[in-house]
Structure 1
Amino acid sequence: MSEKLYVFDTTLRDGEQVPGCQLNTIEKIEVARALEALGVDVIEAGFPVSSPGDFNSVREISKAVSLPVICALTRAVPKDIDAAADALALAKRKRIHTGIGVSHSHIYHKLNSNPDEIVERAVAAVKYARKYVEDVEFYAEDAGRADNEYLARVVQAVIAAGATVVNIPDTTGYCLPLEYGRKIKYLMEHVDNIHRAILSTHCHNDLGMATANTLEGVINGARQVEVTINGIGERAGNTALEEVVMALRCHRHLGIDTSVDSKLLTSTSRMVASMMNMPVQANKAIVGRNAFAHSSGIHQDGVLKNRESYEIIDPVDVGLDESVIALTARSGRAALSHRLELLGYKLEQNELDEVYARFLDLADKKKDIRDDDLLYLVGDAGGRASKRIRLKYLQILTGTLIPTATVIVRIGESERTATHTGNGPVDAAVKAIKTLINEQVLITEFLIQAMNKGSDDVGRVHVQVKCGQLLVHGFSADTDVVKAAVGAFVDALNLVNATEKKE
């Protein structure tokens, strides 16, 4: 059976300190409820003395959420602790989080104090908070750069004063993983009363090592991790909740686990990213858009044969339906065939080869190939042998000039060339083609639609063409919308020709 690791989520406190990420009270309640559903053990709801808005948010979250412990941050100052106790009055389970700096820089420069006085102030703050609540957490700010022997002295004193949890923050993200792990191990071995409290990690990501430091802390004895959704937080951010949770699930041999419902990680991540206007980078571990995406042909082939070839986490475990086989110019036939089969197309080898060649051509023009693009490729390749009229060449001159189009059209076994002007590039091309056919045709509907989004997108064109009493519809798609429009017109002409033959 795994040993319990407590998850202390500070998205609504440390995470919200990011410029531009501030939430109103209603939004904070929504996030808090999502964190409760996720299964976090503690929600740090805010810093009540900092503003009336923060005070009110802590109070309202205390009423809205019942399962997690609701925590409020303070400095080692009585008025801060008073405000926190007042804000937490309605919480079913409450914690006051108080503390003070313990590094040389904080003691002598920030606080203009000395080591003995800092110990006294720390002890006084914990005792004062214990008058209000039984659950008091103490943070030793900048512990990452603090002397270990002095840090152990502070930790022992605050536990003796009644602290139930002691937070060892790497406030500046300075520590290397081995260094931080040794710090936790030192405290576990040199603080006489350490068994009476839980050691907590709180690592910042200034050097990109927050998750690594946190895990080293856990391996060496910490049993609470302070984290945020998506790793948001001041400067380079905090330890990402989803990374710690899934790292421990992947390494079950450590015998340590959390109570987090990992299937809610992706949805919670997206909600927080949307509400805080902090998009998640595509290559972000666990919850990034590309975390389970494979674009290399070799990787795609391996994943299709056995997911574990290139994935250590089942996407379903973090709330996704499946891996993403991202189709790009580097993708192979196996990936293309797999995706087409999911769309209902089982192609013969020669058909697949033809579609694959056109797929590579499109992939070189367009960054992302999506299902609509594939349907266009398959549809355009299908039935080509029956098309009597084919566009072989198209050149458009436009801009400040009168739009002029030159076309080469293959009709049956012969090729014909024509040049014409028009009031736009499509009009010029259509008029040029009309001079090469015997039919009197009129375009009665013309519609261009973007399949997805972006200037490199594929445009789908639909035209309705009238020839006498006959109405036909033509379709085509291309990254070049003029080419797509002309292709749709040619498609309609082939339908006119095929219908007349049947009649």
Structure 2
Amino acid sequence: MNDAAQKPSSESPSRNEADRVLIFDTTLRDGEQSPGAAMTLEDKLKVAAVLDEMGIDIIEAGFPISSNGDFEAVCEIAKIVKNSVVCGLSRSSFADIDRAGEAVKFAKRPRIHTFISTSPVHRKWKLQMDAEQVIAAAGASVARARNYTDNVEWSAEDATRTERDVLLRCCEIAIKQGATTINIPDTVGYSVPEEYYALIKMLRETVPGGDKVVWSTHCHNDLGMAVANSLAGVRAGARQIECTINGLGERAGNAALEEIVMAMKVRNDVLPYWTDVDATHFTRASKLVASVSAFPVQYNKAIVGRNAFAHESGIHQDGMLKNTETYEIMTPESVGLSKSTLSLGKLSGRAAFRDKLKQLGYEHLGDNAFQDAFRRFKDLADKKKLVFDEDIEALVDQEVATQTNRIKVIALEVVAGTGGPQKAKITLEVDGRNETREATGDGPVDATFKAIKAIVPHEARLPLYQVMAVTEGTDAQAEVMVRLEEDGRQVTGRGSDTDTMVASARAYVVALNKLMMKRQRGPAAQMMVS
């Protein structure tokens, strides 16, 4: 593996200007069109500030004529953005273009992005226009936009389903009227990479003036090929990619910005292009967009998903501990994460468990204690989908506390419910011998403690019984704390399990063991142990 693949930097190995790809972010416009993803003005300003900071070339801030709120958002974003071009979208109507021009006038570097549908199905059912009318409207809209700025982008909506001769003529007239960027959208995610590559290549080589403009991609993900199509367009000569953070967008979404950029960084050997985007902002930007749009990121999403740098398989974890290059083609730091995660679960092995114990401060755990703790961890992992650090600490603390104890919980059966009476049957190992007792009580906890007391008679009082969830979720591990008091001696026992009754029994037994040790040590030990 080459260094560029394993440790991508903010700069690509090649900085030839001809290989530079402009990143056009449309999270605030196309991304917001996702049903339920509407953002407030304050939200949009936060996102725009992050995009500007990370080095996005063009920020499409909104669709000014769509609402007063969108117009205001574009105006305010135009005022705060320091480096990026700020773009407003418009249809081909003059009213749309005028409204966009009014909104972006506050930007240091304004752009108007005007579009019209060009495909037969859109012309017939959406516009009720023929091809000649669409071609004429394309030229007129660019000419109108040029009254406001010399940075004009023109798009052929549904370009990939448009007749080639109509698309050629539309692009030609848009360039003739002064468009500086020509965008070829795969609006419904219909294309495949080879087809999209051929389309961009044909347009660049055939349209008069095609060598004087920037060709742009805008690919949707309906067939899961938005990123692949976008990169195919770049290989064919496009030098702008329209994309969104997290791939946010209508239906199946847009090409994901973070995937586009990292693909070029990690595989610069076959994609020898570069951008000015600082990828270390990706994790922060992803979380912000997910929060303000209320669209969570899927766990296995490339680059920014929760599991993108997480490893649970024991074989993978062992490899990661020896050399991260075994299972990671980029560093987590390169996208703004502090480190990879070795997620502990039922597939994890001893190497990962020992490493986790070391991180938690249990590096001096003896061999027998380690094996016992690992066995209990595997038992817990069979019951829980996710095992958290707090889970590990709870079970290891309990193991350390009980490894030399005289009393151990072997088995517990509880009958509870509204029918009553509540019953408990418990088996304890006491000094190497198993004993079983049953008891009824005022609730399952009371019955359990009475059954324990029947095996290990004592007069200790129970001044405290406390239950808390160690981690979140319905499968959370419960941690129970029990305090016993006898003749002025107080002891505290803790127990944990996904079954609260089992955790309660363990906590009670831990406290009993401490109480027995205090009895042996006499008056000098009469202080609370926790």
TM-score w.r.t. the length of structure 1 is 0.97
2:354 aligns to what? Answer: 337
Partner of 1:200: 216
The equivalent residue for 2:95 is: 79
Alignment partner for residue 436 of structure 2, among 417, 420, 424? 417
The equivalences for 1:387-398 within 5 A come to 387-398=405-416
Q: Which residue of 1 aligns with 2:110?
A: 94
**How far apart in 2 are the matches of 1:302 and 1:26?**
45
How far apart are 1:305 and its partner, in Å?
1.3
**Partner residue in 2 for 1:305:** 322
1:103-151 deviation per Cα after TM superposition (whole angstroms, max 9, x unaligned): 1222333222222222111111100100111100001110111223432
The aligned counterpart of 2:467 is 448
1:44 to 34, 56, 60: 60
- Equivalent in 341, 344, 347 of residue 327 of structure 1: 344
Between 434-443 and 9-18, the greater mean CA deviation after superposition: 434-443
Q: Deviations over 1:240-286 (max 9, x none)?
A: 11000100111112321111111110111001101110000111111
CA contact (8 A) 2:391 2:471 kept: no
Q: Which residue of 2 aligns with 1:220?
A: 236
Comparing 378-387 with 46-55, greater Cα deviation is found at 378-387
Q: Which among 410, 413, 426 is matched to residue 407 of structure 1? A: 426
Secondary structure class of the residue paired with 2:410:
strand
Letter in 1 for 2:58: V
Q: CA-to-partner distance for each residue in 1:170-225, whole Å, 9 max, x for gaps?
A: 00100011111111111121123112210010000111110110110111111111
Corresponding residue of 2:20: 4
Number of aligned residues = 503
Confirm or deny that 1:121 pairs with 2:140: no
In structure 2, C-alpha distance between the alignment counterparts of 1:124 and 1:134, rounded to whole Å: 15
Match of 2:201 among 182, 185, 198: 185
What SS does the aligned partner of 2:455 have?
coil
Which residue pairs with 2:161 in the alignment? Answer: 145
Say if 2:492 is the partner of 1:483: no
Q: Does 1:356 align with 2:374?
A: yes
Alignment partner, residue 292 of structure 2: 275
Give 2:281's aligned residue: 264
Secondary structure at the residue paired with 1:45? strand
Whether 2:407 is the aligned partner of 1:379: answer: no
2-structure distance, mates of 1:410, 1:351? 18
Cα drift, residue 459 of structure 1: 0.7
Larger deviation, residues 162-171 vs 18-27: 18-27
Which region of structure 1 is more displaced relative to structure 2, 152-161 or 12-21? 152-161
What is the letter of the counterpart of residue 411 of structure 2?
Y
Q: Which moved more, 1:392-401 or 1:261-270?
A: 392-401
Compared with structure 1, are the counterparts of its residues 496 and 332 closer, same or farther at alpha carbon in structure 2 (3 Å cutoff)?
Answer: same
Distance of 2:346 and 2:208 partners within structure 1: 62
In structure 2, C-alpha distance between the alignment counterparts of 1:117 and 1:216, rounded to whole Å: 31
Residue 504 (structure 2) pairs with residue 493 (structure 1): no
What is the CA distance between 1:500 and its match in structure 2? Answer: 1.2
Letter in 1 for 2:252: A
Q: Deviation of residue 349 (structure 1)?
A: 4.2
Does the CA contact (< 8 Å) of 1:315 and 1:321 recur in 2?
yes
Q: Quick check: 1:70 aligned with 2:70?
A: no
Counterpart code for 1:450? A
**Residues 484 and 383 from structure 1, CA distance in 2 versus in 1: closer, same or farther, beyond 3 angstroms?**
closer
* Aligned residues of 1:206 and 1:236 also touching (Cα < 8 A): yes
User: Corresponding residue for 1:315?
Assistant: 332
Match of 2:33 among 14, 17, 33: 17
Q: Secondary structure at the match of 2:306?
A: coil
CA distance in 2, matches of 1:196, 1:56: 34
CA distance in 2: counterparts of 1:69 and 1:407, whole angstroms: 71
Conserved 8 A contact 2:115-2:156: yes
- For residue 154 of structure 1, give the secondary structure of its aligned residue in structure 2: helix
Specify the code of the residue in structure 1 equivalent to 2:334.
D
Is the Cα contact below 8 Å between 1:71 and 1:94 reproduced in 2?
yes
Residue 3 of structure 2 is matched in structure 1 by none
Distance 1:221 1:238 in 2: 20
- Percent identity reads 45
3-state secondary structure, aligned to 1:256: coil
Cα distance between partner residues in 1 of 2:257 and 2:136 = 34
For residues 217-236 of structure 1, the C-alpha deviation after alignment (integer angstroms, 9 at most, x for no partner) is 11111111111110011111
Find the counterpart in structure 1 of residue 384 from structure 2. 366
Aligned to 2:226: 210
Work out the CA distance in 2 between the residues paired with 1:356 and 1:27: 46
* C-alpha deviation, 1:431, in angstroms: 1.3
CA distance in 1: counterparts of 2:62 and 2:367, whole angstroms: 61
1:29 aligns with 2:39: no
Give the secondary-structure state (helix, strand or coil) at the position aligned to 1:396. strand
Match of 1:430 among 449, 460, 473: 449
431-440 or 214-223: bigger deviation? 431-440
Kindly state the Cα deviation for residue 385 of structure 1 after the two structures are TM-superposed: 4.0
**C-alpha RMSD over aligned residues:** 1.3
Paired letter, 1:460? E
| Match status 1:252 vs 2:259 | no
Looking at structure 1, the residues matched to 156 and 366 of structure 2 have their Cα atoms a distance apart, in angstroms, of 67
Counterparts in 2 of 1:63 and 1:492: CA distance versus 1, 3 Å: same
Normalized against structure 2, the TM-score is what? 0.93
Question: Does 1:461 pair with 2:466?
Answer: no
Query: What are structure 1's unaligned runs of at least 5 residues?
Result: none
Task: Report the Cα offset of residue 355 of structure 1.
Answer: 2.0
Moved more, 324-333 or 489-498: 324-333
Secondary structure of 2:485's counterpart equals strand
- Per-residue deviation, residues 310-361 of structure 1 (Å, max 9, x unmatched): 1111111111111111111111111111111111222444433322221111
Give 1:295's aligned residue: 312
Matched residue, 2:491? 472
In structure 2, C-alpha distance between the alignment counterparts of 1:221 and 1:385, rounded to whole Å? 68
Q: Is the CA contact 1:148–1:186 (under 8 Å) kept in the aligned structure 2?
A: no
Taking the aligned partners of 1:348 and 1:299, their CA distance within structure 2 comes to 25
Return structure 1 stretches of 4+ with deviation > 6 angstroms. none
Of 208-217 and 34-43, more deviation after overlay is shown by: 34-43
Q: Is the 8 A contact 1:135 1:163 kept in 2?
A: yes
- Pick the aligned partner of 1:234 from 239, 242, 250: 250
CA contact (8 A) 2:200 2:237 kept: yes
Provide the C-alpha distance between the structure 2 equivalents of 1:329 and 1:361, rounded to a whole number of angstroms.
Answer: 8
